[in-house]
Amino acid sequence: MKIMKYINLIVLMAAIATIVSCQPQNKKSTAKNTTIPNRKWWKEAVVYQIYPRSFKDSNGDGIGDLKGIISKLDYVKSLGVNVIWLNPIFASPNHDNGYDISDYREIMKQFGTMADFDTLLNEMHHRGLKLVLDLVVNHTSSDHEWFKQSRSSRTNPYRDFYHWWPAERGKPAKRFSFFDVNNNAWRYDSTTNAYYLHYFARSQPDLNWENPKVRQAIFKMMRFWFNKGIDGFRMDVIPFIAKDTTFPKMPAKYHGNWAHFYANGPHLHEYLKEMNKEVLSKYPNTMTVAEGAGVTIGEALKFVDPARKELNMLYNFDGMSLGYIPGTYKELDPKGVKLVDFKNVYSRWDSIYENKGWGTIYLGNHDQPRMVTRWGNDSPQFRALSSKMLTTFLMTMRATPFYYFGDELGMTNIKFDSIKDYEDIETLHEYQHLKNTGGNLKKFLDNQKMVARDNGRTPFQWDTTKNAGFTTGKPWLKVNPNYKTINVAAEEKNPNSVLSYFKKIIQLRKDNLVLVYGKYTLLDKENPDVYAYTRVLNGEKVLVLLNFTTHKASAKLSFDMNKAKLLIDNYNTVPDANAVKTFTLRPYEAAIFELK
Ligand code: TEU
Ligand code: CA
């Protein structure tokens, strides 16, 4: 009996040694790397998205700012990420938190000055971090000088910078607005007796890309930022820029799917090619990523096939619409998300980039609820485990991860009870719309606890001091009360925290190019609980196992696990040897094995 215990202990220690020894170290030979075609820094990067308003406030006005970000660059660097994507930092009246730009060449006053920006970029480059800015050029703010001119008279030189429909022609064909209380994208303006187009809020008029002067002005502005030294752009709703300016009725084939209709404008790819020629090709070491709103999988390669000379990457929305009832306004499907559907979406998107192009992967951003609440489990029992499991998924797919700040801590939805707590134009306008049309407001508010964008925008949780160390003033949006336990200071001290796990797995991805470039193969496809796949590159083979449930679950696989080496596991105890052989995972367990 005693001997058995002794042997068990030795086995356990050996297993621990294996785990420890596999931790970050550049063990993979670089010789193998030379056989990987089309290597690019942005394929190997992990992008960390910062919502500047909510990261760190430096002057006590309750709003995050550039100086705040500068003060925390060492933290960002410590994560191991390579790129920061900042949501818009340009002059804006902030009806949509910076997605309504009034001057593309000025920094938003609340965020700081151009001198602050220059310091930020310098300090980032100094630390080997790259900077990606948000390019919002489907629309401007109605406070932009171009629009002020444009609306002033029908003969103003800027008139054709926007889409106008003279009222004497009658009412224009219906267009849907995402953020309008009447869902109407045409707004009547009495100054010139005409309607202007706004796919988003009425304070976000759409630019007329059919006008070459608009394109030239945008390209010039892009060169201005590239010349400052930025490393790329994330392009807001870029598939929406091109429109049929005769504004016909929406063709029946779209079945009311406005996003898809908007994403298919004529001349779109001509404009992107022109942008590439006039701007992007002149800055060859930079990266671009299209927000692929409305883009279907069949169209994705048109944006990112390198031979077409348009953009580098695109992120899609298929994953994000899982669990919502189709055709509704983000209404949760009581049936929840089926893991099989989830696997299918990500496997399909992987497959289209099998031979050309390159994918992206994300589970949260400023338009989405918190990753762990939506895709994992934010109860105290499973929050940390499921956060780590989801992070494992993001860091082991063949795509560039776009990782949302705060998810590395396992931050959760705040789930506001009252409409008064919300700041987001989307929630506020939809609430008003429902109120005006006699909709079910209680149901709406319940739903918002899960889906509202403000859930992902609450201030970052630094420590246990007042307001989580985000601000000394009154935060612009409430701080999640769970900051007392979920915060950087506490998690940095804990080697088993969500944060510590995030750093480890980033290092693992960096050290194992098989996790970046390796061929992805989905296994045990119909398994409703476990997501299992391999990644293979030049003879190296890695197995990823993810349990998406609160119970034990196993996958049907047929590998010889005797020679398998555990690379990482989100439980801080080693899996039972028997469980490894039968591929049995504990609740929300994530494990990566190297197969021999
Ligand atoms: O989002 C585009 C977009 O598709 C969103 O409107 C989306 O439908 C919504 O957020 C789902 O809740 C981009 C930006 O990411 C978003 O923050 C802006 O509000 C929007 O464009 C307008 O610029
Ligand atoms: Ca501030």
Mutate to test the pocket of ligand 1, among 90, 94, 137, 178 (most ligand atoms within 8 A of CB): 178
* Ligand in nearest proximity to the CA of 49: 1
CA distances from residue 32 to 218, 355, 517, 543 in whole angstroms, order as listed: 42, 20, 12, 19
Average pLDDT of span 573-594: 96
| pLDDT (0 to 100) of residue 35 | 87
Alpha helix positions (H), 80-199? 114-126, 145-152
The answer to whether the CB of 210 is under 6 A from ligand 1 is no
Return the amino acid letter for 421. D
Q: Do 325 and 333 touch, CB atoms closer than 8 A? A: yes
Phi and psi angles of residue 477, each rounded to the nearest 5 degrees, phi first? -135, 145
Residue that has been written with the tokens 């404008």 in this structure: 265
The CA distance from 424 to 443, in Å, is: 18
Residues 372, 378: contact at Cβ < 8 Å?
yes
The DSSP-derived string for 359-428 is -EE-S--TTS--HHHHHS--STTTHHHHHHHHHHHHTTSSSEEEEETTTTTT------SSGGG---HHHH
pLDDT tens figures, 251-264: 999 998 999 999 98
In the numeric block, which tokens belong to residue 567?
Answer: 């690379």
List residues with catalytic annotation.
Answer: 236, 291
* DSSP 3-state of 84: strand
Q: Kindly give the number of the ligand 1 atom that is closest to the alpha carbon of 330.
A: 12
Q: Which pLDDT value is given to residue 327? A: 83
Closest listed residue to residue 82, CA positions, set 43, 53, 25: 43
CA-proximal residue: ligand 1, atom 23 (nearest): 99
Cβ atoms 386, 377 nearer than 8 A: yes
Mean pLDDT of the chain: 94
Reading the block at residue 47, the tokens are 């992008």
To test ligand 1's pocket by mutation, which of 237, 257, 404 has the most ligand atoms within 8 angstroms of CB? 237
Percent with pLDDT over 90 in the chain: 92
Q: Of all protein residues, whose CA lies closest to atom 3 belonging to ligand 1? A: 293
Burial class (CB in 10 A: 0-12, 13-18, 19+), 554: middle
What are the φ/ψ torsions at residue 408 (nearest 5 degrees)?
-70, -15
pLDDT at 42 over 70: yes
* pLDDT of 1 strictly over 80: no
Does residue 12 have a pLDDT over 90?
no
What's the rounded Cα separation, in Å, for the pair 507 and 544? 16
- Confidence band, pLDDT 50/70/90 cuts, at residue 97: very high
- Does residue 33 carry a pLDDT above 90? no
Mean pLDDT, residues 115-122: 99
Whole-prediction pTM value?
0.94
Q: Note the pLDDT of residue 29.
A: 42
pLDDT-based confidence at 329, cuts 50/70/90? confident
User: Is residue 8 predicted with pLDDT exceeding 70?
Assistant: no
Query: pLDDT confidence of 25, banded at 50, 70, 90?
Result: very low
> What local confidence, expressed as pLDDT, does residue 172 receive?
98
pLDDT tens for 458-515 read: 999 999 999 999 999 999 999 999 999 999 999 999 999 999 999 999 999 999 999 9
Residue pointed to by tokens 């134009």: 425
Which ligand is nearest to the Cα of residue 56, counting in written order? 2
| Residue 569 CA, ligand 1 centroid: distance in Å | 35
Residue 5: pLDDT over 60:
no
Is 90 exceeded by the pLDDT of residue 16? no
Which pairing describes strands 130-135 and 194-197: parallel, antiparallel, or unpaired? unpaired
Which whole-number Å values give the CA distances from 240 to 151, 208, 253, 276, 277, in the listed order?
22, 11, 18, 17, 20
Query: 238 Cβ partners below 8 Å, 6+ apart?
Result: 135, 137, 138, 272, 290, 291, 311
Spell out a b/e string for 43-68, using b for 16 or more CB atoms within 10 Å of the CB, else e: bbbbbbbbbbbbbbbbeeebbbbbbb
Does pLDDT of 196 surpass 70? Answer: yes
- Give the Å distance between the CA of 357 and the centre of ligand 2: 40
The reply to whether ligand 1 has any atom less than 6 angstroms from the CB of 55 is no
Q: How far apart are CA 276 and CA 258, in angstroms?
A: 27
Is residue 293 within 6 Å of ligand 1 at its C-beta? yes
**pLDDT per residue over 400-456, tens digit each?**
999 999 999 999 999 999 999 999 999 999 999 999 999 999 999 999 999 999 999
Q: Give dist(CA 185, CA 547) in Å, integer.
A: 43
Nearest atom within ligand 1 for CA of residue 317: 4
| Cβ of 317 below 6 Å from ligand 1 | no
Beta-carbon contacts of 95 under 8 Å, excluding residues fewer than 6 positions away, are: 141, 201, 203, 204, 425
pLDDT at res. 328: 87
According to the model, what pLDDT value does residue 22 have?
Answer: 37
Residue nearest to atom 9 of ligand 1 (CA): 367
Lowest mean pLDDT among 31-35, 47-51, 487-491, 568-572: 31-35
Q: Return the ligand number nearest the Cα of 116.
A: 2
373 Cα to the center of ligand 2, angstroms: 28
pLDDT computed for residue 456 by the predictor: 98
DSSP per residue, 64-83: --HHHHHHTHHHHHHHT--E
32 confidence band (pLDDT: 50, 70, 90) = low
Residue 23, pLDDT above cutoff 60: no
Lowest mean pLDDT among 14-18, 300-304, 590-594: 14-18
Distance CA 548, CA 375 (A): 9
CB atoms within 10 A of CB 544: 23
Q: Which residues contact 447 (CB under 8 A, 6 or more apart)?
A: 330, 331, 332
